[in-house]
Amino acid sequence: MIDETKFYISLIVIALSLIGIAIGSYPGFRMNRATIALVGATALVIINELSLEQAAKLVDINTIMLLFAMMVLNINLRLSGFFNIIANRIIRIAKTPQQLLALIIFSSGFLSSLFLNDTIVIMFTPLLIEVVMKLKRNPIPYLIALAASANVGSVATIVGNPQNMIIGIFSGLSFLQFMTKLFPVALVGLIIVWMIIVLIYRNEFRVKTTLESDDFQPRIFKPLLIKSSIVLVIMLIAFLSGLPITLSALGASALLLITRRIKPERVFLELDWSLLVFFSGLFIITDLLNQILIAPNYSGKLELFSGNSLVDLSIISLVLSNLISNVPAVLVLSPMIKPLQNNEIYWLALAMSSTFAGNLTLLGSVANLIVAESAKRHGVTISFTEYLKSGILITILTFLFGILWLQFLV
């Protein structure tokens, strides 16, 4: 097999893998994103005659371990009742539909910045539907707000979403550096989400209705709640102190696994192993794409159409994230940023644009799909066009503010 043949076969495998990942499955096959990434990566290793040691070096172990550690923390917090306590507080405080919407948006955004946006929507969606239906309100605007705010809020920190984790590891930015630059973007973005939802669903929020909801007592496992909360505070202090992010998170997860009350099988059964497989396969696919196609043809310049490299990178990231999903887009674009001098602002632009891209359509992020699927199981349907009415405006306005803010920082 000649090198040219390997090149074209590799490109076909990469294209099929990225298309399958973007769609989420292949028609007629029971394959999800994780299995598509694994099969594609394995095929590329065989085609390019890589050893398993060489393939393993293409996987960024820091990102995988950070994701694993945050999953362990999130599972312990969920089992302890931590998220249910917060949801209970929201229900108690909200007195009007607009207040309820604001509390959902800002609590979802804040929690997503610390505990992964997917985790927050998994926990909040069923409870939100139950509460809103009891209050005889239209659940659609609240559910769209939950998904959009989880995406927007996650941009604030390195541990807010998977693509930020990759960017945090690749860029070498500290937790505090990342947060201080992008927290204002997240905050204004959450305000934009509230304004757009209220504007689009005027009938739901125009009438000044007083909400009266039955209080519910969340199930709490107090010993685990205390332990998890202490470990969480220790981890955040480590993050803010500038200690290595992955090691800090891994240390926190290790402390939580030292227990006499919860069997380790309980935690490991709830870990999203498919996400770790997906990331591992994707690292191999995108690294080989860079080696055979991007690196040999990349001129080192990002000015493509507007003359402003920051704007051009952000637009490319926004479009690419909606074509192949944000995590693959970040991995594809990262090699273009690494060689640049003073590239901190470009990493931040990539985090902002790839995250906000997730709000454009219902298929734009995993968090959106989780909300839609969970809602469907509870008898509430969020159609593609229904989501689009809010998603387009939210994406455009948050993206534009993000660009302006980063230009101000330059």
User: Is residue 255 predicted with pLDDT exceeding 90?
Assistant: yes
pLDDT for 209 equals: 65
Stretch (H or E) spanning 394: helix 384-409
pLDDT tier, 235 (very low <50, low <70, confident <90, very high otherwise): very high
- Rounded distance, CA 135 to CA 143, Å? 14
Q: Could you tell me if 230 and 82 are in contact, meaning their C-beta atoms sit under 8 angstroms apart?
A: no
Q: What is the pLDDT of residue 260?
A: 76
203 three-class SS: helix
Q: With contact defined as beta carbons under 8 Å apart, do 399 and 193 qualify?
A: no
Pick from 206, 148, 107: nearest CA to 393: 148
Contact 353, 402 (CB under 8 A): yes
Residue 389 has pLDDT above 90, yes or no: yes
**Highest mean pLDDT out of 113-122, 187-196, 289-298, 379-388:** 187-196
- pLDDT of the residue at 300: 67
- Rounded Cα–Cα distance for residues 356 and 342 (Å): 23
CB 211 within 8 A of CB 97: yes
Q: Which residue has the higher pLDDT, 91 or 21?
A: 21
Structure tokens at 366: 């995993």
3-state helix, strand, coil in the chain (%, to 5): 75, 0, 25
pLDDT for the residue 1: 46
Least confident of 87-96, 152-161, 363-372, 385-394: 87-96
Number of independent structural domains in the chain: 1
Mean pLDDT value of segment 119-140: 85
pLDDT at 87: 77
**CA–CA dist 170, 65 (Å, integer):** 14
Assign residue 81 a region: left if phi > 0, alpha if psi is -120 to 50, beta otherwise? left
Does 169 score more than 90 pLDDT?
yes
pLDDT-derived band of residue 215, with 50, 70 and 90 as boundaries?
low
Sorted by sequence, the CB contacts under 8 Å of residue 386 that are 6+ apart come out as: 140, 144
> So what's the pLDDT on residue 369?
85
The mean pLDDT value for 282-310 works out to 81
- Range of 342's domain? 3-409
Cα(249)–Cα(165) distance, rounded to whole angstroms?
Answer: 12
pLDDT at residue 12, rounded to an integer: 94
Q: Please report the pLDDT score of residue 109 as a whole number.
A: 95
**Amino acid symbol at 83:** F
The fraction of the chain above a pLDDT of 70, given in percent, is: 95
Q: What span, in angstroms and rounded, lies between the C-alpha atoms of 40 and 69?
A: 26
Q: Flag whether pLDDT at 137 surpasses 60.
A: yes
The dihedral sign for the CA sequence 315, 334, 331, 18: positive
Percent of the chain with pLDDT over 90: 55
Model pLDDT, residue 216 = 57
Average pLDDT for the chain? 89
Question: What is this structure's pTM?
Answer: 0.88
Confidence band for 211, pLDDT divided at 50, 70 and 90: low
- What's the pLDDT band for 22 if we cut at 50, 70, 90? confident
For residue 145, pLDDT beyond 50: yes
**What is the per-residue pLDDT for 275?**
86
pLDDT at 173 over 60: yes
Give all strands (DSSP E) within 150-241, no chain letters: none
294 pLDDT above the threshold of 90: no
Query: Does residue 325 come out as left (phi exceeding 0), alpha (psi in the -120 to 50 range) or beta?
Result: left
Give exposure, 44-83, as e/b (b: 16+ Cβ within 10 Å): bbebbebeeeebeebbbebbbbbbbbbbbbbbbbbbbbbb
